[in-house]
Amino acid sequence: MTLQNFYDEFFELTVPIQSEKTVLTKRAFFKNRILPSLGEMEMGEVKYIHIQKFVNDLLGVGLKPKTVKNIISGLSTLYRYAEKHEIVMANPCQYAELPQFDNKRDFEYSKEVQVEFVKSALTYREPMMRDIFLFLFHGRRKGEVLNLTWDMVDFDQRLYKIPAMINKARKNMSYKMTDILYDRLMFHYLHECINQNTRFPRGYVFVNPETRTKYSYLKKAWERFLESNDLPKIRLHDIRHLIGTYSINILELPIEKISHTLGHTNVATTEKYVTIKPETSKQVIDKIFASVESV
């Protein structure tokens, strides 16, 4: 069986258990990168040397190591599935080598600028976008917010749940609502009760009032938000870096709590979202010396 033929079967079986974003990303990787290079080869004929040459070619056309890693990860998933069904004896992707890389992004804005981001999100003039951005400032990813449905919201317990299907941790997560988030979600809930003529609305929490469908892209809305509040140009995802950095440097919260807030399964992942001030080590040692002198 060729890799192309097995890919068709593989995706048909696995699409129902993957998020929409994951499916779209993997399809793009296969269509644009993997299949043109390896699609005509028999599954069992693909060896380590073919995968390593494929990796080298991708790097050679300018793809970043992190992107190449994601592409090979998608191909490796397909081969693990093939191993499970005894179509191949081994996964040729497991020994592929990539250059070392650091995908940590620093967030080096001052405390005042970070505060201004949060204040602006609380008072933004576009109600729907304000509430979506407010939710993102609770540490959530864009996909988690836009794919949230009413059955994931528990007003009695003041909880919202992010199921494994729509989060990167691939495990069910639950979070207590802040008072302001509770108020904003209740507003949308009551609005949907009227729209749907029911006490138990269904569908997505954040619905485009013009199309009655969920929002998919926030790029232009985020750019409007930054421009109208005279804020530095950062990515929407950088909100999570802001939360991590502010919580560590300003609030001095333990990284374990930040890790839970950001929906990470380990502290190592959280560390990529935190830019620690150079002064931190001095503060730690000063506290140690001060405590010794007082004894």
Between residues 184 and 20, the one the model is more confident about? 184
Q: Which residue has the tokens 């593989």?
A: 10
**What does the DSSP 8-state code read for residue 178?**
P
* Domains by residue range for the chain, with CATH: 3-84 (1.10.150.130), 111-279 (1.10.443.10)
**How far apart are the C-alpha atoms of 86 and 198, rounded to whole Å?**
51
Give the dihedral sign, CA 159/260/270/78. negative
Q: Which tokens is 96 given?
A: 């592929």
Band (255; pLDDT cuts 50, 70, 90): confident
SS3 for 119?
A: helix
Q: What is the pTM of this model?
A: 0.68
Residue 5 confidence (pLDDT): 92
Residue 260 confidence (pLDDT): 84
Q: Is the pLDDT of residue 251 over 60?
A: yes
- CA 256 and chain centroid, separation: 18
Q: Which distant-in-sequence residues (6+ apart) come within 8 Å of 186 by Cβ?
A: 155
**What is the average pLDDT across 1-18?**
83
186 in the Ramachandran plot: left (φ > 0), alpha (ψ -120 to 50) or beta? alpha
The residues that bridge with 42 in the sheet, in sequence order, are 2
Q: What's the mean pLDDT when you consider all of the chain?
A: 88
**How far apart are the C-alpha atoms of 264 and 144, rounded to whole Å?**
13
Band (146; pLDDT cuts 50, 70, 90): very high
Is 226:254 a contact under the CB 8 Å cutoff?
no
The residues that bridge with 153 in the sheet, in sequence order, are 160
Q: For 64-110, how does the pLDDT look when each residue is reduced to its tens digit (9 = 90+)?
A: 998 999 999 999 999 999 998 899 999 999 999 998 775 666 778 89
**How far apart are the C-alpha atoms of 214 and 219, rounded to whole Å?**
15
Is 192:150 a contact under the CB 8 Å cutoff?
yes
- The closest alpha carbon to 174, from 187, 158, 186, belongs to 158
Band (61; pLDDT cuts 50, 70, 90): very high
**What is the average pLDDT across 164-170?**
80
Cα within 13 Å of Cα(8), Cβ side: 6
Q: For 265-293, how does the pLDDT look when each residue is reduced to its tens digit (9 = 90+)?
A: 777 777 776 776 666 656 655 665 575 66
**Beta strand pairing call for 153-154 and 173-176:** unpaired
